[in-house]
């Protein structure tokens, strides 16, 4: 009698990998919406400072090409982003996007997912496999080394939390 209850799932196409067009369509739509939202944010910012001029009489806040493209890791996979560059010719106003902060590489939902997976007992080496199933085939920046660094930061935060001063608090 055969007691193996495992079932191997295979793609009907034969490659062993399940292909689904929907995530690609969702990523493309997310890319387009993100691009439009950032362009609108930049246009509103430029309109706010439209009348501001430098000492030569030129517009002080101007568009200046694009920032280097980057991938933002989301729940539907990596979404490419190419944000417009805006600069202040006088160098006094720092222009940053509220939608796309300068060093954002993954959404907050992905950031929240990592400690949850760790607390559920997934080892550092298995994170890549778990994230591949949840996010995308290649989750850049979410390697075992990254998880180890995040784990050390979480342990540091927990130690600081344990040592916090409760002298001003009144508990029953």
pTM attached to this predicted model: 0.58
pLDDT at 1 over 60: no
Can you give the pLDDT at residue 141?
A: 59
Q: What average pLDDT does range 88-92 have in this prediction?
A: 84
Lowest mean pLDDT among 59-63, 64-68, 135-139: 135-139
| Residue corresponding to tokens 């990254």 | 146
Domain ranges across the chain: 1-105, 108-162
pLDDT at 71 over 60: yes
Can you give the pLDDT at residue 7?
A: 46
Whether residue 99 contacts residue 34, with contact meaning beta carbons closer than 8 Å, is answered with yes
How big is the chain by its Cα radius of gyration, in Å?
23
Can you give the pLDDT at residue 115?
A: 74
Q: What are phi and psi of 162, to 5 degrees?
A: -65, -30
Confidence of residue 10 (pLDDT cuts 50, 70, 90): very low
Q: What average pLDDT does range 142-161 have in this prediction?
A: 81
pLDDT at 32 over 90: yes
Lowest mean pLDDT among 95-99, 117-121, 145-149, 155-159: 117-121
* Residue 79, C-beta contacts closer than 8 angstroms, at least 6 positions apart: 27, 30, 31, 34, 71, 72
């Amino acid at each position: 009698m055969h007691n193996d209850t495992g079932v191997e799932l295979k793609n009907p196409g034969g490659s062993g990998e399940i292909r689904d067009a929907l995530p690609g369509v969702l990523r493309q739509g997310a890319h387009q919406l993100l691009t439009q939202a950032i362009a609108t944010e930049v246009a509103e910012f430029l309109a706010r400072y439209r009348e501001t001029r430098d000492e030569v009489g030129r517009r002080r806040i101007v568009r200046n090409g694009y920032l280097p493209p980057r991938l933002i890791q989301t729940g539907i996979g990596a979404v490419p982003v190419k944000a417009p560059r805006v600069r202040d010719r006088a160098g006094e106003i720092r222009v940053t996007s509220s939608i796309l902060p300068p060093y954002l590489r993954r959404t907050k939902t992905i950031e929240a997912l990592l400690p949850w997976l760790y607390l559920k007992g997934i080892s550092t080496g298995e994170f890549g496999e778990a994230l591949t199933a949840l996010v995308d085939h290649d989750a850049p920046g979410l390697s075992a080394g990254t998880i180890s660094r995040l784990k050390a930061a979480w342990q540091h935060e927990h130690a600081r939390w344990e040592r916090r001063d409760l002298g001003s608090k009144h508990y029953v």
